[in-house]
Amino acid sequence: MKGGARAAAGAAAERQAVRFLKRQGLAVLATNYRCRLGEIDIIARDGETLVFVEVRLRRHGAFGGAAASVDPRKQRRLAAAAAHYLQHAFGAFPPPCRFDVLAWDGACADRSPALQWLKDAFRLDD
């Protein structure tokens, strides 16, 4: 998949992820939050918990698939961006938080990719 097609597929996956999360009862607060430390695809609220969501799409399951692509390096970048968001949005009194991953593996033209929702996929103290 070329760069433009990959970006379009990623954007479509993020839009689909927003719709999915809303159907699950989460309130989406922001999408594509960017700071110098990284980017968070979706920030949502699940009751009192603030949820930072990473959306991953992989056409093939090679190298562990979509969920496995959120490796320790990516987790650190997400955690740093989340800390930035929390500091600016909540100051010294942040709400409880978690990191979720929405992963699609095996996307192809003749069928929908399988969605995997990993709630609390990793923690800041991991």
pLDDT digits (tens, 9 = 90+) for 52-80: 999 987 765 555 567 777 788 999 999 99
**Per-residue confidence (pLDDT) for residue 63, from 0 to 100:** 57
Alpha helices, DSSP H, located in the chain: 3-23, 65-68, 72-90
**Per-residue confidence (pLDDT) for residue 61, from 0 to 100:** 54
CB–CB of 100/120 below 8 Å? yes
By C-alpha distance, which of 103, 111, 89 is closest to 43?
89
**Per-residue confidence (pLDDT) for residue 126, from 0 to 100:** 45
**Per-residue confidence (pLDDT) for residue 89, from 0 to 100:** 94
**Per-residue confidence (pLDDT) for residue 124, from 0 to 100:** 65
Q: Domain count of the chain?
A: 1
Task: Give CA–CA dist 84/37, Å, rounded.
Answer: 8
**Per-residue confidence (pLDDT) for residue 99, from 0 to 100:** 95
- pTM score: 0.86
Task: Give CA–CA dist 49/46, Å, rounded.
Answer: 5
With a cut of 50, list the residues of the chain below it in pLDDT: 108-110, 126
CATH of the domain at 7: 3.40.1350.10
Domain of residue 92: give its range.
Answer: 3-122
**Per-residue confidence (pLDDT) for residue 108, from 0 to 100:** 45
